[in-house]
A and B are shown apart, each in its own frame.
Chain A
Amino acid sequence: MTQNTEPESVAAAPGAERVGDMMVAEVARRLVEAENPKELGRLAEVTALWESGRAPRPRSRRWQGGSIGSGLAPWVLSDVVYPLLTGTFAQVLGAATFAGLQRRRDRWLRPRRYRAAVAAVPSTQLALNRVEIAALRKACVDHGMALGLSRSKATLLADALIGVLVERLGRDAGTSR
């Protein structure tokens, strides 16, 4: 599953050697597993939606003409983990931007037949180095708050994400050496 997509100049820079790679879905699963293992079942549903491009947009504004809301949204990591990871990786890696857009259900641009035909696309594969991992934390906090999380909650998630990545990528790097 290893795939090197980074420029040669970055890979050659000191301290920027590739330490490993993994799937976005795997990062999401490990994050939920670390934070709230009870949500793993729900995460599987969300992952399926995400990979089939039918995941709803995060914090989408709905018309208010026919409903009256409670203003109380329960804390469910599974619902925000993909928008959070996509935004974070997109900012740091750039390449994932396309992946995020690819997974977004775009009812206006894609013909209905095409939407049905490409029911599932495998999760995007990420390749990270140590410099990028360091930048991920700040990006994760920013995107978490943009998604409506409090700063403390967003920081907690960012730390958990870094923990997951360091553990996994460190293990990959150890095996590759």
Chain B
Amino acid sequence: MSADPTVVARPTRPASRPARLWWVYLLVGVALAITGAGAAQALYVTRDLGDYATTEACLAASGISLDEDAAVNVRDAPQFALCTRDYNRGLGVTTLLGAMALPAATWLLMLVSGLGVRRRLRRGGAASAPVPLWLTERFEDLCASQGLTGTRRPGLVVAGPAAGVREAFTTGVPFTRPQVVLPSSYASREPDEFDVVVLHELAHVRARDLLWASAVWWAGWLTVPALLLAVIFSVSPAPVLWRTYGGSLLTAIVAAVTMLALRSALLRRREFAADLYAVDALDAARVSAVLARTASWTSGDGTGAVGPWHRWWSRSVRGVRTVFATHPPLTQRSGVGTRAAHREGGFAFTTAVGIIAMLTYQTVYGVVSDLFGYVVDDPGVPSNLSLAVGFLIWSSVIVPTWTRRARVAGIGWVGPWAGTVCGLIIGYLLRAPGASHAFAIVFTGHWPLLVACLVVVTTGIGVLTAALATRLAHPGTTAGVLDDAPRPVRTAAAVLAVTVALVTTWSTTLMAVMAYLASGEVAVARWQVAALGGQDAWWYAAPLVLLGLLVVTAAPRHHATGPTAEARRPRRGWTTAAVIGVSGTVGGVAAALSFVLRVRADADADTTLGLLYGMWWISALTGGVVVFSVLLAHRASGVLRAVPAAFAAGMASTVVAGLAQFASQYLAHYGRNGTNFLDALRKPLALLLFSAVVTVPVLLVIVAVTRTVRRPGTTRPTTLMWTLSTGGGVGVLALAAVCGLLGPVTITADDPRHGRSWSAKLDEHAGRTAPVARPSPRSDPGRALDARGAEAVLTGAAASLPGAPDPDPDEETSGTTATPLEPATCNDALTRNNVADKALDRTAELTRTYHFPQAGTAGGVRLTTAVTSYTTPLKDLAGEVEVSLRCDRYTIRDEQFDVGHRDGTMRTLQGSTAGYPAQRFMITTTGRVNAKHVAQIVVTSSVLVGHNYISATVAYWYVNNAPDAATITFLERIMGSALDTMIDNLGR
């Protein structure tokens, strides 16, 4: 057919292109990085790239078993960090490489797949097929009408019958012009059909749908193979692999299927968007006619199956196909002109974003803690940093999406809120496929409590986010004044507010739950909330949230017309200001009085602290009352939209309360310093932020109930009435707080004491307690001993051994060997130290060695107690330190081992025991005998007491796995007991 394109009117250019889905790139990039990181961790573990045996041996030498709970590892933090440093650094680097490798592989596959499509077309003769002139001209005309000229214009490929192209599509290779491929049958079709299909494809080109669709496609297909490739060449047997990574594999499969299903759902929406674009460029009637014509001949899903079995199979598969269909049914598409706007950001979307955000948190935490130390001075730093990254991703995607959702009239929020709760909590409890870190493991056995607390927090965050989105979507101006897209600054402010609020409340909640589980006391949990989990940085979170809220709620007053302007009329502004000022002043003065009138000069620190926090809580409650008051005032004009303003007003009143409280204290001669001034502002603000977030859903319910019971015709309260009633509410609440009625939910006078007591228990558990008081020595423990004295020192040192074994007559000092070590520097240092030690004059030297059997070890355990009394007191234990530095890693020849040598490490940790310089010297050697992992552990605890050097050494071998926690603890105890006995004997 030689259709004349001039008979068809040139299409118009739509005002806006379909929105580009930048967030899909963000999410798919992050998902790929998480998957790659997990697979890399699995590879690192299954291939034993980090020499786990050496790490395990080092931990065993340090008296640490990985079977113990995390608190024990925290107790032994320095040793733990020392042993796991190399392993974790390797793991961190591998994780980072994996996180980069999989996105890079995906990029390459996108490239290859684009080239593959082009090759397929060339093989089908599409590239060489003659293209009718009118098609080319019409295509160029359509591109020009959409502003796609020059290098931005896509190429046109007309595919003949041999290419097997039945429908038009767009293909592309990254960094090249996309190509629109059309079957040659369009040459014999009506020009309208050509226009519609080309404009549809141009919409995809302008929205850059091709890249993300391709990326998500490959992300979905790579998830499972990446994990399988990582573990399939493992040295471990299959049952062990399945036990370790079976859950990960299932997670990966679910993730892959979900990813492909979400991609299809998103593509179906993009098809609608592309159809709408064609409608805007042409007109609804022409587009609908073409779509309806196509729909009239196709059933779309092959429903005409032959035979009953085929028919049953078709019916069964149809449901699955619907989920993975990349195009909506043509019958739906043909009604494109009259279709209502889509609702974005529903349950599935929000859940998926939440899961990805929390897995991001886990991955980032893993990398940061592995690279910079599992235990740092402040363990909260890597955790909070990772939380901030994860939640920033969540809010960056959710806020703009929910803003678009809020523009749709009559939209509901239950789905998104449920998605917020499910996504964030599931993502927290889940482990990324292949990942080594299990975060929620510390809550094992206490899931209901943890989940219940997180449900409260995430629901509050969901409500706050929806409120901010609604405010962004309906800023109180007439339609058309704002751009179609949300203003970047206001959106960024909302993202900031949500992120900071989420990090603060989430982190504080986890700390409170952990404190409760560890202590069993509600008071301790309450104290953790009051102290924001001991995270000092969170005291500055509330001002950031307030800043974000102010930017979001600030709207140009002169645009305030129309239905939504009612909420912004000047009278309400003055009313809010009056409420803030009066309530803040009343609350601040009441807070100051609660402290000034009750504090006593002779009160202990805990009592004073309780009064201080009670005072700050009153200032915070002032803000809470104002939040409720503002919500009540807006109950008739959209309470959800009023939440940001209510939060901002509440925080403003808390600031006023803080100022009033500081001024009142100042007048009463209390706390006249900058710290008190700062605390008067930041602590109540932080408490208000936490309490407002967790209670806002309840407040909304209460406001909704009051709206339903409000009698029609009731007059609106005046400014004076609002101000007085709110101020009165603050006064009543302050009184209730002082009387202790609010103690169960805020703070009681005893909470600081409980908190401090729990901290002391933690310190005790962590071995940070003060030295045990010993009876005064009857003689100088540091005196030079003779042979008899040395004998007396060792007496009873092995009393705690099972079976009270006799000393082994074949005495031997551990840690020394006649076999030379490699490298030579290590051997020289060891020789030098031995020579130097032998050269020192001594008055006595005695060693006792005991052998005893012990489960989990190969050949039992050897305990060696030794005392050496020097003529001249030793200054320090530097000799062994130097040896350990030179012999950090060494090898020792041993023909019994598969490779003819053992790999060894030496570590030294210095400290003090009973007030004397002490040292723990750990030697491990590992290797394989007949492919079995064999390790030797030698640990020497030594103390320098004046002229005397005493030590207790435990040495043993094990095969494959280190002894269990009970054995390691037992060996630590007998070594410590032996040392304590010798110290006590020195003073006798």
Contacts and interface: CB of A to CB of B under 8 A. Distances in A.
B204 A149 contact: no
A75 B297 contact: yes
A141 B304 contact: yes
Contact of B210 (A39, A67, A72, A149): A67
Interface string A22-59: 00000000000000001100100110010000111101
Contacts of B432: none
A79 B185 contact: yes
B420 interface: no
Given A71-B167, A73-B167, A145-B302, A64 B297 contact: no
Contacts of B167: 69-74
B937 to A, nearest CB: 53
A144 B183 CA distance: 21
A72 B294 contact: yes
Interface in B146-173: 160-164, 166-173
B185 A69 contact: no
Main secondary structure of the interface of B (DSSP, over half): helix
Contacts, number: 161
A66 B168 contact: no
Contacts of B193: 74
Nearest to B181: A67
Given A65-B214, A146-B304, A154-B304, A72 B196 contact: yes
Contacts of B184: 42
Interface string A117-144: 0000000000000000000000101111
Contact of B160 (A45, A60, A150): A45
Interface string B948-968: 000000000000000000000
Contacts of B297: 75, 149-150, 153
A129 B221 CA distance: 51
B20 interface: no
B3 to A, nearest CB: 11
A78 interface: yes
A141 B209 CA distance: 37
A38 B1 contact: yes
A39 B162 CA distance: 15
Nearest to A76: B185
B162 A42 contact: no
B305 interface: yes
Interface residue tally of chain A, by bracket?
35 or more
B188 interface: yes
A69 B327 contact: yes
A150 B200 CA distance: 24
A171 interface: no
A145 B181 CA distance: 26
Nearest to B303: A145
Contacts of B183: 73-74, 76, 79
B767 interface: no
A147 to B, nearest CB: 7
B424 to A, nearest CB: 31
Interface in B99-156: 109-110, 113-117, 120, 124
A13 interface: no
B267 interface: yes
A169 B299 CA distance: 32
A72 B162 contact: no
A62 to B, nearest CB: 8
A72 B209 CA distance: 17
A42 B548 CA distance: 64
Nearest to B329: A71
Contacts of B56: none
A145 B169 contact: no
A38 B188 contact: yes
Contacts of B170: 67-68
A75 B298 CA distance: 8
A91 interface: yes
A151 B513 CA distance: 63
Given A42-B184, A73-B167, A74-B183, A79 B161 contact: yes
B304 A68 contact: no
B188 A42 contact: yes
A152 B209 CA distance: 35
B164 A150 contact: no
A116 to B, nearest CB: 14
B19 to A, nearest CB: 16
Contacts of A39: 188
A70 B163 CA distance: 17
B296 A150 contact: yes
B280 interface: no
A146 B109 CA distance: 33
B189 interface: yes
Contacts of B120: 62
B430 to A, nearest CB: 27
A171 B124 CA distance: 40
A163 interface: no
A77 to B, nearest CB: 10
B209 A78 contact: no
Contacts of B214: 65-66, 68
B748 to A, nearest CB: 62
A150 B803 CA distance: 89
B267 A67 contact: no
Given A66-B214, A70-B167, A72-B294, A147 B302 contact: yes
B204 A54 contact: no
B161 A70 contact: no
A170 interface: no
A133 B164 CA distance: 31
Nearest to B218: A65
A157 to B, nearest CB: 10
B217 A56 contact: no
A108 interface: no
Contacts of B168: 69-70, 72
Nearest to A80: B166
B326 A49 contact: no
Given A74-B185, A79-B166, A145-B302, A68 B204 contact: yes
A64 B169 CA distance: 10
Contacts of A67: 117, 169-171, 181, 210
A150 B299 CA distance: 4
Contact of B298 (A64, A139, A146, A150): A150
B260 to A, nearest CB: 10
Contact of B117 (A56, A66, A78): A66
Contact of B291 (A56, A72, A154): A72
A75 B218 contact: no
B200 A70 contact: yes
B540 interface: no
Nearest to B120: A62
A114 interface: no
A72 B287 CA distance: 12
Among A38, A65, A72, A147, residue most surrounded by chain B Cβ atoms (within 10 Å): A72
Interface in B669-696: none
A23 to B, nearest CB: 19
Nearest to B166: A73
A10 to B, nearest CB: 22
A142 B46 CA distance: 53
A109 B204 CA distance: 39
A15 interface: no
A146 B160 contact: no
A149 B171 contact: no
Interface in B628-674: none
Given A42-B161, A71-B328, A143-B304, 12 more contacts: A38-B188, A56-B161, A56-B164, A59-B302, A64-B326, A67-B117, A70-B197, A74-B167, A76-B185, A78-B161, A146-B304, A149-B297
Listed from nearest, the 10 A-B pairs whose CB atoms lie closest are A145-B304, A56-B164, A71-B327, A66-B113, A65-B113, A73-B167, A69-B169, A76-B185, A67-B171, A66-B117
25 contacts: A38-B1, A42-B185, A49-B162, A56-B163, A60-B164, A65-B116, A66-B113, A66-B117, A66-B172, A66-B173, A67-B117, A68-B170, A69-B168, A70-B167, A70-B197, A71-B167, A71-B327, A72-B290, A74-B167, A79-B166, A141-B304, A145-B304, A147-B304, A149-B304, A154-B304
